[in-house]
Amino acid sequence: MDQNMSVTFDDIAAARQDFAAERANVVAKNAATAKGIRTVARVPEAIAHNALAFDVEVKQGDRTNQERSGRCWMFASLNTFRIRIMQNYNLKTFELSQAYPLFWDKLEKCNWFLENILDTTDEPLNGRLMSYLLFDPICDGGQWDMFKGLVKKYGVVPKEAMPETANSCNTHDLDTYLTRYLRGAAKRLRETKAAGSSHEDLIAMKKEMMSEIYRLLVISLGEPPVNFDVRLRDKDDKLVLSGNFTPVEFFEKTVQTNLDDYISLISAPTADKPYNRTFTVSRLGNVVEFGQVRHLNLPIEELKHVAIAQMQDNLPVWFGCDVMQSYLQDEGIMDTAAIDVDGLFGFAIEAALNREERLDYGESLMTHAMVLEGVRFDDKGKPAMWKVENSWGKDHGRNGFDTLSDAWFDEYVYQIVVDKKYLTEEQRAIYDAHDDIELAPWDPMGSLAR
């Protein structure tokens, strides 16, 4: 064997000698092993730039908490809805049920999965597509278009109308058993098709499976309300809304928003995704009748511009990012200057790949959705710091809020959702043309925020 293929003891001795020759290496070792990498790489001088002071700021209600679930995309979406209810009815705070869309998302994702299985019965079981479909069919995560479909079909309800349960706060067991059921269902459908059964027989099997899935979800999450009573009082304790509503009626009455006006913008600078084009992701969705997700790809500066415009109209902005990069979680600070990992180790780690390369080489993708609620400008009028509402409770960060530096935005924000009225006429025409490029199911722009 070629000696250059192995790690030799001479190589190790040389590395050991090089390490010991630098005093900084020994100091870094002692600190990192005692306190952890991020804590030791923390740059205190950068923390001072992350103050909660903003030139544009949207005031929100009490903090929400997704607890041990991957529902950030639901929490972020509902937080952009509830502020409209608060503004429309002069409320101090308000919260919509997050267990309600969770129930319908699980049901619709199961149906989406089974439809994909019926559509791929001729695919080899050990192929990449089947591996993708079977890997995590019922995860909590999602994207804006998936949430939009749920609301258009099922509406929304106040938190009191469908409160949290043990299984909505901690979805691990629910997801585990539902995933096992779905993989078994996939096996039965594929074997039934291979045995020569008709399409009608397969559809009947799927209908029976969906009935069992509904039973599992009701046992785990409770049954979603068909209608419910509402009594809302404003900041002055005046009764401002009362009556009995269906979930769709409640959305239309209180949120007063045309969901189709709100679209997903991404910023992916990779060679396979030209700017000013729309994209969809193969086999990614939940509600079958609303189809796959869609994105318009624009330069990152365009995302900032329209996000600021919407906040200036006193409305928050849903966004998706790679949250754990350069993140001081306990302090609620996302700032590329706040953690100097490369300085700690003495060579390029975070600087080894740029934004485009991180996407191409699997180092980064959207992992979490939150809400932009403010921005601070520098002396040239450019954004410097952003205010973020997270969904990790009031004890996270600073009373539930995070800050996000503009440099971090450049590197790790991948998606925002805004009213298309803030786009240029040309950009709206591109989106409305539906000339979509379809991406592979495993493309990073198909990742789910959770």
Which residues belong to the active site? 72, 368, 390
For residue 126, give the 3-state DSSP assignment.
Answer: coil
CA 62, 68, 73, 74 torsion-angle sign? negative
CA distances from 189 to 3, 83, 185 (A): 52, 44, 6
Contacts of 152 (CB under 8 A, 6+ apart): 259, 287, 290
B/e letters for 123-138, b = 16+ CB within 10 Å, e = fewer, are: beeeeebbebbbeebb
CA distance 301 to 41: 29
H-helix or E-strand spanning residue 297: strand 294-297
Report the chain's terminal Cα–Cα distance, integer Å. 46
Question: CA 88, CA 79: separation in Å to the nearest integer?
Answer: 14
Nearest to 332, CA basis, from 323, 341, 344: 323
Kindly give, in sequence order, each residue whose CB lies less than 8 Å from that of residue 316, ignoring residues fewer than 6 positions away.
58, 60, 79, 80, 83, 310, 371, 372, 373, 389
CA–CA separation, 41 vs 43, rounded Å?
6
- Provide the angle, in degrees to the nearest 10, between the axes of the packed helices 199-221 and 172-194: 170
